[in-house]
């Protein structure tokens, strides 16, 4: 068979929740959707902040109108630990629930997935790190209150365990229903808006650059890039701008659909984990810092992909080489990071260089899974150069 036929012979799969409901005010469909799933007892998973700002009450009201018996777990931690997962495991096993509903950011939604699978599977969540979950969990509805993680459409649970970020990746983690209502993210403060929005951007770009990318993931990823570049600055500066919130919520969902089906968010997330571990930064901020440098690093091997990203971000690539266009994509992302008041270099966090070697070691020993699908090989030498560039804060051509 001629070589040029080979890409056409590849087979791809695309996994997603059974039903994704998206639109302004669509939270009002929660009760009827829950009723169609059956049962009467619901474990409503959230955190104290979501509870305090009244978003949990909105979900509770919809379930009460359909006569559900509601039990609330609102103790999800910002970066959930295995201990936090064990706590919700005990609760979900003490009583019989028919349905799990998660209302919150990525941490909450991951804990709702945890509650679902641990109700029907034995042992601790640790037993399923890197393994397929054997039994189907309780049915679940996931409702994001941030526009960034895309956890509502992901089959991954991310936890913190002894300084590491282990995954539980399983088809059993996919929600029966994801309800994405832009009104649920409108109360996000500017800093969180920026961090989660840049996380969504890193998912989309990581998916586009991934060796596991395919025409479906590229289409979704590029659209997510376009929407983030056009709307994040507005959402950051005008939190009540519903049009910007609408497009950011959509970008977060399709950005994760893209990443989840292309092999993950890639090298930027691996680098981000080392930065977050060192400086205790929120996940989205560390992803934002790392993203333009990983794009620039990959420009040598996939400039055509980065040119598409540049175009999606509104960059004029007429009359310049493909490598210049690829570089402009990295510059555009760095500018977006800076325009939303996020750090864009390691030097801004600590102007010494003593910690760079430790980050290289962590990257190469703890977070290798994130660059398995990276188009350019990562070794210690290239990792050192990457961190040096991140410290300097300059994107070299």
CB 270 within 8 A of CB 390: no
> What pLDDT does residue 8 have?
58
| Domain boundary assignment for the chain | 19-185, 190-392
Average pLDDT of the residues in 133-137: 97
User: pLDDT tens across 321-366, in order?
Assistant: 999 999 999 999 999 999 999 999 999 999 999 999 999 999 999 8
Which tokens sit at 199? 């996380």
Kindly give the interhelix angle for 190-209 and 283-298, rounded to the nearest 10 degrees.
30
Determine what percent of the chain is predicted with pLDDT higher than 90. Answer: 90
Query: Which CATH number fits the domain 190-392, given the four candidates 3.40.50.300, 3.90.1150.10, 3.30.479.30, 1.20.1090.10?
Result: 1.20.1090.10
Angle at 172 between CA 171 and CA 175, to 5 degrees: 95
- In CATH, what class is 19-185? alpha beta
Judge whether residue 1 has pLDDT over 60.
no
> What pLDDT does residue 265 have?
82
Judge whether residue 9 has pLDDT over 70.
no
Average pLDDT of the residues in 375-394: 96
Segments in the chain forming alpha helices (H): 30-37, 48-52, 55-64, 82-94, 106-118, 190-209, 215-237, 242-260, 267-279, 283-298, 303-312, 322-339, 356-366, 380-392
Average pLDDT of the residues in 200-215: 96
Judge whether residue 2 has pLDDT over 50.
no
CB 145 within 8 A of CB 185: yes
CB 260 within 8 A of CB 363: no
> What pLDDT does residue 12 have?
86
User: pLDDT tens across 39-90, in order?
Assistant: 999 999 999 999 999 999 999 999 999 999 999 999 999 889 999 999 999 9
In total, the chain counts a number of residues equal to 397
Which of 165, 156, 53 has the alpha carbon at shortest distance from 106? 156
User: pLDDT tens across 242-297, in order?
Assistant: 999 999 999 999 999 999 999 888 899 999 999 998 998 888 999 999 999 999 99
* Model confidence, pTM: 0.94
Determine what percent of the chain is predicted with pLDDT higher than 70. Answer: 98
304: number of Cβ within 10 Å: 9
235: number of Cβ within 10 Å: 30
DSSP assignment of 48-85 equals HHHHHTTHHHHHHHHHHTTT-EEEEE----SS-BHHHH
d(CA 378, CA 382): 6
Judge whether residue 6 has pLDDT over 60.
no
Which tokens sit at 377? 């090989």
Q: Chain-wide mean pLDDT for the chain?
A: 94
CB 65 within 8 A of CB 31: yes
Q: Which residues contact 291 (CB under 8 A, 6 or more apart)?
A: 198, 201, 202, 205, 268, 333, 337
């Amino acid at each position: 068979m001629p070589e040029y036929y080979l890409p056409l012979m590849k087979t791809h799969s695309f996994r997603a929740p059974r039903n994704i409901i998206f639109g302004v005010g669509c939270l009002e469909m929660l009760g009827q959707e829950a009723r169609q799933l059956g049962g009467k007892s619901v474990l409503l998973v959230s955190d104290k902040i979501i509870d305090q700002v009244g978003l949990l009450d909105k979900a509770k009201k919809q379930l009460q109108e359909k006569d559900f018996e509601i039990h609330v777990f609102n103790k999800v931690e910002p970066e959930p630990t295995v201990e936090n997962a064990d706590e919700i495991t005990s609760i979900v096993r003490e009583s019989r629930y028919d349905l799990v509903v998660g209302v919150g950011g990525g941490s909450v939604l991951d804990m709702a997935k945890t509650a679902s699978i641990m109700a029907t599977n034995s042992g601790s969540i640790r037993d399923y790190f890197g393994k397929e979950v054997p039994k189907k969990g309780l049915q679940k509805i996931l409702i994001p209150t941030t526009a960034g993680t895309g956890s509502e459409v992901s089959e991954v649970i991310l936890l913190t365990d002894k300084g590491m970020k282990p995954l539980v990746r399983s088809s059993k983690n996919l929600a029966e229903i994801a309800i994405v209502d832009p009104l649920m993210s409108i109360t996000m403060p500017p800093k969180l808006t920026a961090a989660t929005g840049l996380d969504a951007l890193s998912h989309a770009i990581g998916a586009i650059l991934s060796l596991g990318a395919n025409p479906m993931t590229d289409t979704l990823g590029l659209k997510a890039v376009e929407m983030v570049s056009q709307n994040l600055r507005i959402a950051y500066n005008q939190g009540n701008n519903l049009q910007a919130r609408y497009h950011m919520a959509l970008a977060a969902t399709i950005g994760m659909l893209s990443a989840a089906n292309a092999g993950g968010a890639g090298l930027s997330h691996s680098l981000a984990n080392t930065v977050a571990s060192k400086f205790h930064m929120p996940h989205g901020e560390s992803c934002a810092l790392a993203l333009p440098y990983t794009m620039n690093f990959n420009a040598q091997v996939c400039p055509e992909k980065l040119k598409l990203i540049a175009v999606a971000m509104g960059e004029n690539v007429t009359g310049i080489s493909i490598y210049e266009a690829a570089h402009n994509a990295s510059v555009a992302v760095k500018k977006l990071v800076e325009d939303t008041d996020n750090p864009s270099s390691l030097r801004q966090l600590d102007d010494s260089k003593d910690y760079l070697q430790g980050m290289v070691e962590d990257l190469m020993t703890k977070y290798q899974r994130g660059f398995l699908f990276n188009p350019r090989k990562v070794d210690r030498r290239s990792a050192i150069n990457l961190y040096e560039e991140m410290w300097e804060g300059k994107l070299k051509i």
